[in-house]
């Protein structure tokens, strides 16, 4: 009798991301009517209790056709990423940069929208929060200098307003460029003005 070869990766621990994808796959299958409620309950239980990739694979036996080569290598279409990690990182950096640059076109709405649509803990969400908070700080700075200038009629406040505006433009461009490069850059103004309406974590 010939022993069936089992790839070492089948004994690797299941990552939270793999488990989440497997859950989503089964939920979609149930919503589409491809599996019954009882079968969904049974298979989702296997997914939640699976400790290794081999155990996770068993939740899809008979449901997903997996080529023998993929089985031997421990690969399974139900929980493998649809895009390569590096491609996902590049896309995340692009959205993170857009969060900063969008303030030039739609002001606070741009980063606020990206923040709302991004998952907690993602790079895009953190950068959107940074862009939103910094833009809000500069707005209050401009508002304060305008009010002070209107009350005192001193020309110095016109200069202050101009400097605040130029600083906002320059630092927003720098923030967007750093985000596009994948750097976790902190705006120097935020060391002084610690207003944080959206969490930057």
User: pLDDT digits over 61-103, tens only?
Assistant: 777 655 454 444 455 656 655 445 555 556 678 889 999 999 9
Q: Please tell me the predicted confidence (pLDDT) of residue 78.
A: 61
Q: Is the pLDDT higher at 109 or at 37?
A: 109
Are 23 and 45 spatial neighbours (Cβ–Cβ below 8 Å)?
Answer: no
The whole-number pLDDT of residue 100 equals: 95
Per-residue model confidence (pLDDT) at position 88: 53
Quote the pLDDT of residue 72: 45
Residue 38, both tokens = 């009882």
Is residue 181's pLDDT more than 60?
yes
Predicted local confidence at residue 65, as pLDDT: 55
Find the range with the poorest average confidence among 51-65, 128-142, 148-162: 51-65
User: Does residue 53 or residue 140 have the better pLDDT?
Assistant: 140
Label residue 12 left, alpha or beta by phi (over 0 means left) and psi (-120 to 50 means alpha): beta
What pLDDT score does 162 carry? Answer: 93
- How does the average pLDDT of the chain come out, rounded? 81
Inform me whether the pLDDT recorded for 147 exceeds 80: yes
Indicate whether this model's pTM tops 0.75.
no
Confidence band, pLDDT 50/70/90 cuts, at residue 105? very high
Banded pLDDT at 33 (limits 50, 70, 90): confident
Helices (H), ranges, the chain: 16-31, 37-49, 53-58, 68-72, 85-101, 103-106, 109-117, 123-152, 156-180, 189-192
């Amino acid at each position: 009798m010939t022993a069936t070869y089992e790839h070492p990766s089948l004994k690797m621990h299941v990552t939270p991301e793999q488990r989440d994808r497997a859950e989503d796959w089964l939920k979609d299958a149930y919503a589409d009517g491809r599996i019954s409620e009882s079968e969904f309950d049974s298979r989702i239980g296997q997914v939640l209790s699976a400790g290794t990739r081999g155990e996770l694979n068993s939740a899809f036996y008979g449901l997903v056709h997996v080529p023998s080569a993929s089985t031997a290598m421990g690969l399974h279409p139900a929980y493998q990423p649809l895009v390569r990690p590096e491609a996902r990182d590049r896309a995340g950096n692009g959205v993170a940069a857009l969060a900063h640059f969008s303030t030039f076109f739609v002001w606070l709405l741009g980063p606020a929208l990206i923040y709302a649509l991004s998952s907690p803990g993602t790079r895009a969400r953190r950068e959107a929060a940074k862009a939103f908070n910094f833009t809000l700080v500069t707005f209050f700075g401009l508002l304060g200098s305008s009010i002070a200038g209107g009350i005192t009629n001193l020309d110095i406040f016109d200069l202050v307003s101009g400097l605040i505006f130029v600083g906002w433009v320059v630092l927003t461009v720098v923030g967007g460029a750093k985000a596009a490069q994948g750097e976790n850059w902190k705006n120097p103004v935020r060391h002084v003005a610690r207003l944080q309406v959206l969490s930057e974590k």
